[in-house]
A = this chain, B = another copy of it.
Amino acid sequence: MNQHAPTRKTFEARLRQIGEDRYHDKHPFHHLLHSGGCTPDQVQAWVINRYYYQSRIPMKDAAFMSRVSDPDLRRAWRSRIEDHDGRAPGEGGIARWLKLAEAVGLDPDYVASETGILPATRFAVDAYVRFVRDEPLLSAVAASLTELFAPKIHKDRIAGLLQHYDFANTESLSYFQNRLKEAPQDVAFGLNWVLDHAVTQADQNMAARALIFKTDVLWAQLDAIWLAYVEPARIPPGAWQPGEGLL
């Protein structure tokens, strides 16, 4: 019952191994995207669906803050919402994602309308928001630690997109460039918080399960895109059809 919990270092290594094993940089869709193998339609499908994830991240962070009674922890977390929503219209991560949408030929208003999102995308993303709203705070913070693995995929993506696609330039990829600056400070805070608060073996197991859950949330989104737009390319009823929502 009361196993002696592994050290902080061993626990951190366990969390990092989850990324090695399951983070969505291993998903074949990312290989296709970063190597220049995606058709323009497939890039658009990714931008449309990933918008839904981006749009829910500040809602997820607000759901977390709605459960935190410590003003210091809320204040530390608040910068995540500021990063996504910005300080004025047209600023912040969501606005930068819509610049990418425009660069790949999509009407940003269409993308922001959330029309044509794959149901499987909604289910996965909504499950994440609910998870953060309902599960223990330790699980909610641990789930955010996929950011540990994000800098590498963002660097690979920026390099791959710049090399292979005409739409890629400093402006259209500004979302990823900014995340390279923002994510490390967020995740350093989150990782320390989890290492500080996961004191028992049961806590560490719970945190690890939460991080695994989050890798599932990310992986399932790419699986949905793959099935609908790559192979067998069977688009579910009501989801975005190539040619819709163009500029």
- Cα A69 to Cα B63 in complex, Å, equals 12
In the complex, what distance in Å separates the CA atom of A85 from the CA atom of B87?
17
Interface string of A48-92 (1 = CB under 8 A from B): 000000011011101111111101101100100110111111001
Interface of A: prevailing SS: helix
A residues adjacent to B (C-beta < 8 A): 55-56, 58-60, 62-69, 71-72, 74-75, 78, 81-82, 84-89, 92, 94-95, 114, 129, 133
A123 to B243, CA, bound (A): 53
8 A-B residue contacts at CB 8 Å?
Answer: A55-B71, A56-B69, A59-B74, A62-B74, A71-B89, A71-B92, A71-B95, A78-B81
4 tightest A-B contacts by CB?
A62-B65, A63-B66, A62-B66, A71-B85
Of all chain B residues, the one with the shortest Cβ separation from A93 is: B71
Of the candidates B58, B60, B72, the one whose C-beta lies within 8 Å of that of A71 is B58
Inter-subunit contact B69/A75 (CB<8 Å):
no
Residue of B with least CB distance to A87: B75
**Inside 8 A of A88's CB, which chain B residues have their CB?**
75
Bound Cα distance A58, B81 (Å): 14
- Which of the residues B74, B85, B92 comes within 8 Å of A81, measured between beta carbons? B74
CB closest residue in chain B, given A74: B85
Contact A82 B71 (CB under 8 A): no
- Is the Cβ of B78 less than 8 Å from the Cβ of A82? yes
Output the nearest chain B residue to A68 by Cβ-Cβ distance.
B59
Residues of B within 8 A of A56 (CB): 69
B55 with A59: CB separation less than 8 A: no
Chain B residues within an 8 Å CB radius of A69: 55-56, 59, 114
CB-CB nearest in chain B for A55? B69
Residues of chain B within 8 A (CB-CB) of A63 are 62-63, 66
What is the CB-to-nearest-CB distance from A150 to chain B, in angstroms, rounded to a whole number? 21
A66 engages B59 (CB within 8 Å):
yes
* Contacting pair B60 A72 (CB below 8 A): no
Closest chain-B Cβ to A212's Cβ sits at a distance in Å of 23
